[in-house]
Amino acid sequence: MAFGITRTELSVWKERVKRGELAYLTHYWLDDRFPGIKTVTKVGCSDLQRLTEWCAAHGLNPKYIHHRPPFPHFDLMGPKQQQILAEAGLHNHLERFNLL
């Protein structure tokens, strides 16, 4: 279950993904399969080559890309999520979702 984002934020993320940009969307998320994880960042891009290269550049296995047209994405959680958000300069995500 996702919560903590607005329709506008979701719409902007979707439009950027469709354009082939790398787009980051962080939201609160609860899933019993991942105890202790309260947020996820979806890194989306419709350009699968670009998304695959992004995964490789961050030491992430591209086999975990969710191939869900028209919004393919990779789910970031835990310490790697914090690291990548910081590297991308998305400090507002870190602050807003208490990831610091």
pTM greater than the 0.85 cutoff: yes
Select from 50, 63, 40 the least CA-distant residue to 17.
Answer: 50
| b/e sequence 55-69, b meaning 16+ C-beta within 10 Å | beeeebeeeebeeee
Are 19 and 44 within 8 A, CB to CB?
A: no
Over residues 2-28, the pLDDT tens digits come to 789 999 999 999 999 999 999 999 999
Over residues 70-99, the pLDDT tens digits come to 999 999 999 999 999 999 999 999 999 999
